[in-house]
Structure 1
């Protein structure tokens, strides 16, 4: 009976984490939309979601550490709880990145909208896909899907580098739009960091399922 109760608690912990993951995914999508549409109301909503994410992080951590202390889990159950603690932190960081993007959008409220030679919308969409797939990999215990998320990170890195290069040139040639360009650069960097956190989540899913630490190894195997 105690073991049944333990696995029920593990299931409840997973549900808490998935609920938090949904908030983080929503925050990122809304923040990009707020930037693209200059929507201050949506910016405020992102801030509200971030507060909910922060509260959820504390709740998930408390439950995870309580299970570690009281149940002394072994093998795959121990790996799951350790992965939850790490994923919890990455989801909170995605909330932070989303809040930063919303802050940049708010800073542009009194600036004229201009067309820049970069596609923040596409970049945000691809990062959103990474987060959704990382969460799905967690939900379905799918290591192959997690590997797919990790493989996507290089494309986001390249997009971020392209944004930096293109917009630095814009700022040099058109200083009157320097603020809009700089905000786009900062938003691109925040998206790149959110993608890194999605990658971390995918790596932790693989650790949970397979018991192998793939940090730094996947990128090396991809280059060979």
Structure 2
């Protein structure tokens, strides 16, 4: 029979694996949301939106388990950081899932229209954000501070690409007023992807805090 400490460690590991599983589900949701937009696949968009309920349920389950462990074990120092960062990371993952839902919802709004231009930078932004999320989760798994710091640095490239997308879409809207409605929706998509990268950065910052006990805030 495992000791109390061994049992607690097993519960912490199970919690970490559940957070990683939630992260993988969010990555898939982002990928499918952007694919639905690029291809006009309304069925895939609805699948993403339905799947958001499962992501939300995972957040609630992880939060409940964290709170039970805090109440039962009354952890201190590093153990408390593990549970606290778990709660924070889960919140960021849930919000990323919400943004995937929002992108899928935009697919349903515009899928019956031809795209005003082929989507190139939007999938690039999505891939950059997914890479950041994957790397932040890997850093969480291994407590790799260097990898987490690289995630934080990568956010600048996403911000630059976002600004480029905004400029291009505003130019379209000025030159071709009939594109304003759809261009506005794609602007929202770009904003959601920029926020996804921000949340991946948040996760990386929480990993650094978990590993070092020091808070790093992006400037």
| TM-score, shorter chain, exceeding 0.5 | yes
8 Å Cα contact 1:117/1:167 also seen in 2: no
How large is the Cα RMSD of the aligned pairs?
Answer: 1.2
TM-score, scaled relative to structure 1: 0.93
Per-residue deviation, 1:184 = 1.2
8 Å Cα contact 1:123/1:191 also seen in 2: yes
Per-residue deviation, 1:159 = 1.1
| Cα displacement string for residues 55-100 of structure 1 (whole angstroms, at most 9, x for unaligned residues) | 0000000000111111011221111110000000000000000000
Q: Secondary structure at the match of 1:45?
A: helix
Structure 1 runs of 4+ aligned residues shifted over 6 Å read none
Q: Secondary structure at the match of 1:50?
A: helix
Alignment match, 1:179: 181
Q: Which runs of 5+ in 2 are unaligned?
A: none
Indicate whether 1:40 and 2:28 are aligned: no
| Cα displacement string for residues 153-196 of structure 1 (whole angstroms, at most 9, x for unaligned residues) | 01111111111111111101101111221111110000000000
Per-residue deviation, 1:117 = 8.0
Q: Distance in 1 between matches of 2:38 and 2:78?
A: 43
Q: How many residues align?
A: 217
Per-residue deviation, 1:113 = 2.5
Structure 2 counterparts to residues 116-135 of structure 1, below 5 A: 119-135=121-137
* Pair 117,85 (structure 1): closer, same or farther in 2 beyond 3 Å: closer
Alignment match, 2:101: 99
Q: Which runs of 5+ in 1 are unaligned?
A: 220-224
8 Å Cα contact 1:118/1:163 also seen in 2: no
Per-residue deviation, 1:114 = 2.8
2:86 to 84, 89, 102: 84
Alignment match, 1:111: 113
| Cα displacement string for residues 91-144 of structure 1 (whole angstroms, at most 9, x for unaligned residues) | 000000000000111111221223158611111111111111111111121111
TM-score, scaled relative to structure 2: 0.96
Alignment match, 2:148: 146
Alignment match, 2:64: 62
Structure 2 counterparts to residues 17-56 of structure 1, below 5 A: 17-56=19-58
Q: Secondary structure at the match of 2:112?
A: coil
